[in-house]
């Protein structure tokens, strides 16, 4: 398939699919970090586990395919919840966040290693099947997924720093973690549009 064969309608969604769907897949993690500020680590883990199960149930009821991120989220939060109930560890905020951020980074890394970047599954729901194996489509999702992996790895590093260097200002950790998350969201929106603008249009296209 040539570059010119790619459709030009649909903006950046040609390469990424629905950005809202990708963020929906991250809903358990977003909820977890919100609840960590409002309640206990156990409640945050239980809430994230329930949302993960709801997302998988929602997909199953609609007859769709369950995503790597959704399965990984349920396993991660489910295991951490059971561990917390059974072992009753004295979680610090940074400690439980490190477990979650590290687990999330691992999930995304595994999706890259097995050549199923997690954004690809969301993208394929928005793109005709004939473009699923297009090199540009695949390469774009590889890069966007890698950016997300980098963002989660930085967040995990910030959590580790808060544990081993408690004198570091809390504001610095929050700014760094939030900053890389915002960057990943921005890049997920900007990069597909950038790629699309650089695809040669077919002869005679308007």
126 occurs within a structural domain: yes
Structure confidence by residue, pLDDT tens digits, 34-66: 998 888 999 999 999 999 999 999 888 888 788
Task: Give the residue carrying structure tokens 């954004």.
Answer: 119
The pLDDT of residue 13 is 46
Residue 204 inside a domain? The answer is no
Total domains present in the chain: 1
Residue with tokens 């915002």: 182
Q: Do 155 and 101 meet the contact criterion of CB atoms below 8 Å apart?
A: yes
> Taking Cα atoms as reference points, which of 84, 79, 55, 82 lies closest to residue 69?
55
Give the residues of the chain that fall short of pLDDT 50: 1-18, 203, 205-206
pTM metric for this prediction: 0.82
206 located within any domain = no
Domain assignment of residue 6, yes or no: no
Q: Which residues constitute the domain of residue 168?
A: 12-197
**Separation between Cα atoms, residue 104 and residue 72, nearest integer Å:** 8
Backbone angles phi, psi at 117, to 5 degrees: -50, 135
pLDDT tens-place string over residues 116-133: 999 898 888 888 888 888
Instruction: Tokens for 62, please give them.
Output: 């609609």
Q: What span, in angstroms and rounded, lies between the C-alpha atoms of 184 and 152?
A: 9
In a domain, 107, yes or no: yes
């Amino acid at each position: 398939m040539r570059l010119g064969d790619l459709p030009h309608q649909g903006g950046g969604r040609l390469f990424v699919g629905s950005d809202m769907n990708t963020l929906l897949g991250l809903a358990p993690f977003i909820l977890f970090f919100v609840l960590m500020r409002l309640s206990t680590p156990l409640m945050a883990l239980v809430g994230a586990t329930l949302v993960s199960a709801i997302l998988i149930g929602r997909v199953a009821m609609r007859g769709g395919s369950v995503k790597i991120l959704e399965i990984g989220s349920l396993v991660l939060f489910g295991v951490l919840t059971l561990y917390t109930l059974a072992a009753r560890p004295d979680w610090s905020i940074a400690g439980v966040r490190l477990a979650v951020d590290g687990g999330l980074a691992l999930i995304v890394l595994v999706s890259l290693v097995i050549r199923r970047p997690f954004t690809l599954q969301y993208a394929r729901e928005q793109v005709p099947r004939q473009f699923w194996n297009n090199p540009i489509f695949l390469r774009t999702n590889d890069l966007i997924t890698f950016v997300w992996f980098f963002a989660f790895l930085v967040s995990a590093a910030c959590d580790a720093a808060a544990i081993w260097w408690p004198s570091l200002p809390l504001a610095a950790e929050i700014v760094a973690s939030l900053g890389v998350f915002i960057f990943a969201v921005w890049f997920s929106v900007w990069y597909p549009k950038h790629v699309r603008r650089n695809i040669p249009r077919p002869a005679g296209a308007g």
